[in-house]
Amino acid sequence: MTVIGARALNRALLARQLLLQRHAMPAVAALEHLVGLQAQEPQEPYVGLWSRLVGFAPAELVELLESRQAVRTLLMRRTLHLVTARDCLALRGLHQPMARSSSEATGMSLNARAWMRCWKRSRHPFGSGSRT
């Protein structure tokens, strides 16, 4: 068995997270490679992708979000993450028990919690128009 030192382990971790150097790849490929980015605040994924990708343009992520190829959702450690839609579907089953126990503790259904998050973050949660 080969044992690697702390520095080599650190470098391997940074490389796996695309943090040793910027890479020339589409944002969707980076999201899938990383299995998501933390997205507690809306701008965090933009900074995360900019620091990892050569020539990253914010419009690329906007397009992924608007076309629903990427979503911001509650996942690992009960925090918001930006993931591809494909990864979201794959991870949903793994994280469903945690989400269910959390919603049962608060007495609120998962649908109600999702609707409230949407309402708080969206100017027009039901499409174009106002909340009147």
* CA-to-CA dists, residue 15 to 22, 37, 39, 64, 91, angstroms: 10, 15, 21, 24, 23
Asked whether residue 55 carries a pLDDT value surpassing 60, the answer given is yes
- Return d(Cα 10, Cα 4) in angstroms, integer: 10
E strands along the chain, which residues? 37-38, 70-74, 80-84
Note the pLDDT tens digit of each residue in 79-129: 788 999 998 888 877 766 665 555 555 555 555 555 555 544 444 444 444
Answer yes or no: pTM beyond 0.85.
Answer: no
Instruction: Specify the pLDDT at position 131.
Output: 39
